[in-house]
Structure 1
């Protein structure tokens, strides 16, 4: 495939654009308006559920759990004080409990020290279930002390509802099941709950209130993500304008690319809205900034080629045609390869990753289309000028261009050494890549500089606070199976085994594992003179049946929060001390092994977010390999076809492996985790990095076709596009640099890794690409005998 023929085709396209420039502008305007009308309907979500779209069995288990026991969505407040039983603290707990129950929509039931706390207590008829503060908070210190003693005597409550040192306690607001599809976090519950807890009434130096819960955390996460995306996009746009001013230094050269960028990005997002596709708000800043950066890069290639010819000839329209002729094909081909690389995200098997790949590919293609339409057309308006004499002598080259040519001479002279050093650096990254760890720790992904994450970590450090948990569900085939002491004792044995897992949280020497057995043992103890020796599951079936029946008629909400009404399904709740990907997987495997051994006659399953994250560990690695592998193969095939040579295509791919290896080695050596966001960096950088390789190889091949000399072709390429390659990469790095200042951990890492990869890719193209082409001569033997 001869580059000169392709360039001639693009020259004809340029003349067509100039001849029909008004029609092109009108059509572009109509299309832009039509697409942008969809923007008001753009839908974004940051729900974690979007990450788990093909985990069929896990999803079925979770939905089955919710059908029986209801959603685990709730609002919780951890109360801290020197003594949570102090009258003023109890009063605040009571007032807050009642306000939450009355003022939060879809509130079902509050459980706290002062409200709906169920404690079995012996009486003349056997026992009763009482709420110690049902009649209000007494003023007599001795009466408060008696109630405190009663609460602290119940083993099921200590280090569950209240800590053993009486410095922490929970206020738990459970929510009604709502079938209408309302997003509680944004539309209903969380804002009302925050209004209550942050009111002046509950500001005191006597106690501290730390709020959490799925809806509440999602609301805070959404606020952080919205702010961060707006901040990064705004800063990115400012950086884009600054780069255009710095490198182009003309009003038209700044305004036209800015218009092309905004219209291209807005059009794609508008079309996305018209199609009814929900995007991922946590990642939308990435394709927008990528679109800005690449749009500016494409524009600079056009503008620099135009200005070089305009300085030589002084003829505006001729210079526009020249710019399209020289840069149209390499830009078009780089867009195809970048889009193909981004579309490889469709192979990842993760819905938001597929969306990010599709929307990024659309934005890249659209901004390129706008640049290819608007830049030549709008640059063609204006008067001709007199050629610049100095530029005519230097063939339009500037001092910077000459400097790049000088650098190219050094690379040609020391090609073998350059190739050896580059390959050695690449090999040094392999051990680091082998150390990359997959870790879905929410606190690290969001970043430990974000206030609500700091609060969650503060809660996690206490005796009662927990951020991660999971549930083990046991479902027998027959009704009343849980009235059999043997089955109840097996539940207790599984509970004890789960308490030995690596990450199970321990408070006051007690594993944070709870099940219905705690209620059963408390009832048994109560009916036997409150003797702690009877804090056990009764051995007789009649006794166990009687206990369950008495609790059912005394407090059905409490008993049926742990089992279904047929007495055949129950669950065990396990709270974790933190998140470690490898330990989570090992713990879940151990839990499944215990369940299989203890309940061969029952259906068992594990549900919860950590189960989803454990499933995601493997999906991330598999998704990354599929995405990167697909991207690599597609780009390699396209480069082979474009350059008409297998050797040329593979040589072009070798330098593009360098930035990927550099990113992987950096992540491994610095213990940077692979998570849901950083996994997209390697395929993305490969897709972007290949742009400069294509520009360089295309110019080298074009120069070789004209001169027959690899040396002359290389020097010509360094002189004509070396500076432009540096400028476009600088702009890309500057755009991603805005991520480095983000308090969100994943975005911060994206900034660092992108800059590292893009910088490494440029260096590889300046050195390894040209050295390999010079040494391997992929386009045929040199016609210059001196080489």
Structure 2
């Protein structure tokens, strides 16, 4: 039984102990908060996609195999724009930029740009590998024009490193591999350290003439971290202000405003501090989900506690007695709601992606800490102060005010129209269910984050430029026999595969050994464009590569290993959405296996990791949400004493997910890594109100024996608390609507929609279902009005006042 006299007595006894040991409780939490604050500086930030996967994940193993052969597949890139790239000043600055990046960026390997690249030419001894642009850059305009003509005549340069109109150039800084988990002196991931340093160099005044725009995963990671750290703080501060205003209006007491916010902040400090001591790292873009979960739960628990406390205080004037009453009435419902909410959040552990697991564990930890603080520390703090008779200007209030009477009248209306309510619910369910089938599981940085975020707008511009790219990934082919890459049939199959890859919608350009071999073939044939093609024989290919290496060429070894049995193809993308990328990667992998049945085919790189991760998250979250529903249903059924009660109680908890999923489908909002976390979060929040409603309705029924009267008493006693809690949470999430990030705007809108749906389902559908199914048993009288008496509901034992 959820709320019984037995549980009431247990929590009443707990309240007595808390009041007897008030200073010990305060000392305990003071030490705990101090411990947490000391651990906060130890928290590390990590946005590296390499660390998303578990240690035994196939994608992670494929990535490790790639790095053993070719090293790091990440890079820092800069798009340069000028009226003429082959201007002496522009070329000088491009070279200076490349050298600054190579010299100062951690783990820099080598720069590839029009000013720092291999350029092959034929000479009397075979092939000479040098540079197109001399050092220093000549100031002779006719010479530069000749170099421009020579450079743009080569397919390896035109449209790849320099646009065909010579107005854009692509500067690529390759990176050396670094140890997994390596961090800088601030505890941040090495990708962030690399990105921050690269950005500081690119933004120097001496490079302004280049109009540089930085890209590459380390840069994106640094930009993302900087933006979300700032935006998170802004949203949290604004949220605190909005929450304080709404709480002040709702509770009309300064204590009611301060205590819930302070409790939430302290819980956050403790949980994040403990994670800091444990060496846990987090992705800053995922922080808001557990933080706001903790804030919302703190507000909900505190409002229920405050309502009972102040009602009893105004009735008796006894502060400590009011504390005991509040703890006794709310203790078990709060404990059970905390348990079910944590159960729903722990389902995140079914997703084999570290940031999602961190989100679930952290949110569950915050719920547990909030419950502990609201259930113990908050009552202790409320016990200090004078009784009501010593507070001037206060009038002892009646148990029910205008708002409670309005809600009581609403309950009567609900119970009179069960068929209309169920019919309306059924129609909405069908409409929203149809919307769910329209849901698209996809991540698109523009749709998810939005172009109002400066760094997103910048990398989008880079992606849509003539030579720049948004992301990249790598295809790795591994043959059993040495020298296979020199075989003509292998090279021609590779050429076929690359031609097909270049035609894919998201692919912008590919890089491999093929352009180098074709360029060498053209060079030895006096630069004749007709010979920009693959050699006819294995011997010719081997001879070209030997001449190239003897001439000092090194670029080819970035695309094959020394045994010539491993081959790398880098794919740069000008656009990205996870659904399209998933289809393209699957197609390439399948086609590669078809063309090269004798080779092992592997994928690596940021896009491959993120696309696989997005797929894991989508499937895992849907599975975890289903598991969370099962866990909560079983817990509900166990505590309420029947599986039927558990299933009935889950109907209002499915309503938020149904509303959110349906609206997302009909409005074209994609289901991505951020929006997919909303449904489990809403389940955790909505289950709180359902438990409070059903537990108090059941207690009222036990005392009254009438469904209609028990619903009226439930609406009167906790209906206002449920409404207030929902309004405060909606107001709390409404601050997201002021963000420039679409992900936050969607989060705010969808959460508000879900909370509203949960409140309406609890207030309309649940009462009707409870009566229709006789969930609490048979009524003891057919006439509700006989049981309703002026002082409360008569049970035959005592009159209950202030059921909550």
Per the TM superposition, whether the score is higher than 0.5 is yes
Taking the aligned partners of 1:193 and 1:693, their CA distance within structure 2 comes to 52
> What is the match of residue 697 of structure 2?
700
Distance 1:586 1:33 in 2: 50
Asked whether the equivalents of residues 240 and 292 of structure 1 are also in contact (C-alpha less than 8 Å), the reply is no
Following the alignment from structure 1 to structure 2, what is the Cα–Cα distance between the partners of residues 178 and 464?
Answer: 28
Query: Contact between 1:497 and 1:594, CA under 8 Å: does it hold in 2?
Result: no
Structure 1 pair 637–551 and aligned structure 2 pair: CA distance change class (3 A) = same
Closer, same or farther: CA 199–768 of 1 in aligned 2, 3 Å: same
Q: Does 1:536 align with 2:537?
A: no
Contact 2:656 2:683 in 1 (8 A): yes
1-structure distance, mates of 2:395, 2:254: 24
Matched ranges for 1:242-281 at <5 A: 242-281=245-284
Pair 385,161 (structure 1): closer, same or farther in 2 beyond 3 Å: closer
Secondary structure in structure 2 of the residue aligned to 1:560: helix
1:645 equivalent to 2:651? Answer no
The answer for the alignment partner of 1:508 in structure 2 is none
- Displacement over 4 Å in runs of 4+: 182-188, 391-395
1:482 and 2:479 aligned? no
User: Which residue does 1:368 correspond to in 2?
Assistant: 371
Distance 1:736 1:660 in 2: 17
How far apart are the structure 2 equivalents of 1:91 and 1:20? 74
Change (3 A) 1:445 1:734: same
Task: Indicate the SS of the match to 2:571.
Answer: strand
**Is 1:346 aligned with 2:343?**
no
Q: 1:233 aligns with which of 236, 240, 245?
A: 236
* Cα separation, partners in 2 of 1:101 and 1:25, compared to 1, 3 Å: closer
186 and 59 in structure 1: CA distance in 2 versus 1, 3 angstrom threshold:
closer
Counterparts of 2:183 and 2:682, CA distance in 1: 38
Give, in angstroms, the shift of residue 187 of structure 1: 6.6
SS of the aligned residue for 1:768 comes to helix
Matched, 1:51 2:56: no
Pair 32,108 (structure 1): closer, same or farther in 2 beyond 3 Å: closer
Contact 2:486 2:542 in 1 (8 A): yes
What is the match of residue 195 of structure 1? 200
1:86 match: 87
In structure 2, what is the equivalent of residue 282 of structure 1? 285
Q: 1:784 aligns with which of 781, 785, 793?
A: 781
Mapped partners of 1:119, 1:201: distance in 2: 27
Give the conservation status (yes or no) of the 8 Å contact 1:696–1:765.
Answer: yes
The correspondence of residues 390-409 of structure 1 with structure 2, limited to 5 A, is 395-409=398-412
Q: Is the alpha carbon distance of 1:629 and 1:103 closer, same or farther for their aligned partners in structure 2, counting shifts above 3 Å?
A: closer
| 1:506-525 to 2 correspondences below 5 Å | 512-525=509-522
Q: Structure 1's 39 and 586: CA in aligned 2 closer, same or farther, altered over 3 A?
A: closer
Q: Structure 1: how far apart are the matches of 2:668 and 2:20?
A: 57
Shift of 1:747: 2.6
Instruction: Tell me how far apart the structure 1 counterparts of residues 190 and 223 of structure 2 sit (CA, whole Å).
Output: 9
The alignment partner of 2:603 has SS state of strand
Between 32-41 and 281-290, the greater mean CA deviation after superposition: 32-41
How much does 1:338 deviate? 1.0
Alpha-carbon separation, structure 1, partners of 2:78 and 2:450: 22
Give the conservation status (yes or no) of the 8 Å contact 1:299–1:371.
yes
Question: What is the CA–CA distance in structure 2 between the aligned matches of 1:431 and 1:44, rounded to whole Å?
Answer: 40
Instruction: Tell me by how many angstroms 1:395 deviates.
Output: 4.8
Q: Which stretch of structure 1 is more off in the superposition, 180-189 or 320-329?
A: 180-189
User: 1:542-557 to 2 correspondence within 5 Å?
Assistant: 542-557=539-554
Trace 1:422-461 onto structure 2 (pairs within 5 A). 422-461=425-464
1:717 is displaced (CA, Å) by: 0.6
Please give the alpha-carbon distance, in whole angstroms, between the structure 2 residues aligned to 1:202 and 1:178: 28
User: Is residue 727 of structure 2 the alignment partner of residue 730 of structure 1?
Assistant: yes
Assess if the C-alpha contact under 8 Å between 1:92 and 1:202 holds in 2. yes
- Aligned residue for 1:571, secondary structure, equals strand
The answer to whether the Cα contact below 8 Å between 1:344 and 1:357 also exists between their aligned partners in 2 is yes
Task: Give TM-score scaled by structure 1 length.
Answer: 0.94
Check 1:393–1:701 CA distance in 2 against 1; reply closer, same or farther (3 A cut): farther
Would you say the 8 A contact 1:639–1:649 is kept in 2?
Answer: yes
CA contact (8 A) 2:314 2:396 kept: no
Return the alpha-carbon distance in structure 2 between the equivalents of residues 192 and 785 of structure 1. Answer: 77
Q: Aligned partners of 2:115 and 2:357: how far apart in 1? A: 49
State the partner residue of 1:635.
632
Query: Per-residue deviation at 1:683?
Result: 1.2
What whole-Å deviation, never above 9, does each CA across 1:109-167 have from its counterpart, x for those lacking one? Answer: 2222222x222222233332231212432232221111111111112221111112212
Correspondence for 1:137: 137
Q: What secondary structure is seen at the aligned counterpart in 2 of 1:37?
A: helix
Deviation per CA, 1:384-420: give whole Å up to 9, x if none: 33599xx999851111111111111111111221122
CA distance in structure 1 between the partners assigned to 2:136 and 2:439 by the alignment: 56
Give the unaligned 5+ runs of structure 2. 785-804
- Give the unaligned 5+ runs of structure 1: 506-511
Distance 1:109 1:668, change over 3 A: same
Tell me the TM-score normalized by structure 2: 0.92
SS of 2:469's equivalent in the other structure is: coil
In the alignment of these two chains, the number of paired residues is 777
* 2:388 counterpart SS class: coil
**Following TM superposition, by how much is the alpha carbon of 1:186 offset from its aligned partner in structure 2, in angstroms?**
6.2
